[in-house]
Amino acid sequence: MIGVSDSAAAGVPEPGTPGARKRSVATGSPVAEWSFPADPGAVRTARTMVRRVLHDWGVNGAADVAVLLVSELVTNSLRYASGPIGVRMVLLSASGLLVEVSDPLPDPPQERTAAPDDEGGRGLQLVACSSRRWGTRRGKSGKTVWFELSVAG
């Protein structure tokens, strides 16, 4: 499910209910939100939806990195949490994109150094190296991992 709306996006806002539509005429910032079941197909669907919305917003330059990072974070959510996975994107300005991935597990992800033979353990490193800033926060029922990308140029 997708909801595209206007929303206040100062700093790192608390995410709305994934899939919900809301409007705030104050800022005019585009917002897209989805809620995916904890199912392996959610990763592919999330990638498709992120790419489609960024194309609609004219933010094609950030699409490949955004799709990669969303894919990593949704995969992490599938691996460690059961329950719905929320993805939210906010076009902060002409130069910034905020992306959030939420799940019901309250524990923050642990950044680790992966050995060359490890199959996993690089997702947060990719987020840290590819975004201009990122972080985690606890919510009322779970956590959110967020990152910002530059969309200028």
Query: What is the C-alpha separation between 28 and 9, in angstroms, rounded?
Result: 10
Residue 75 confidence (pLDDT) above 70: yes
C-alpha distance from residue 97 to each of 11, 35, 100 (Å): 11, 19, 10
Does pLDDT of 44 surpass 60?
A: yes
Residue 139 — very low, low, confident or very high, per pLDDT cuts 50/70/90? confident
**Chain-wide mean pLDDT for the chain?**
80
Can you give the pLDDT at residue 94? 67
- Summarised one tens digit per residue, pLDDT across range 77-114 is 998 888 899 999 999 976 899 999 999 999 888 777 76
pLDDT band at 134 (very low <50, low <70, confident <90, very high): very high
Helix (H) or strand (E) holding 144: strand 142-150
Q: What is the pLDDT of residue 113?
A: 75
Enter the tokens of residue 134.
């990122």
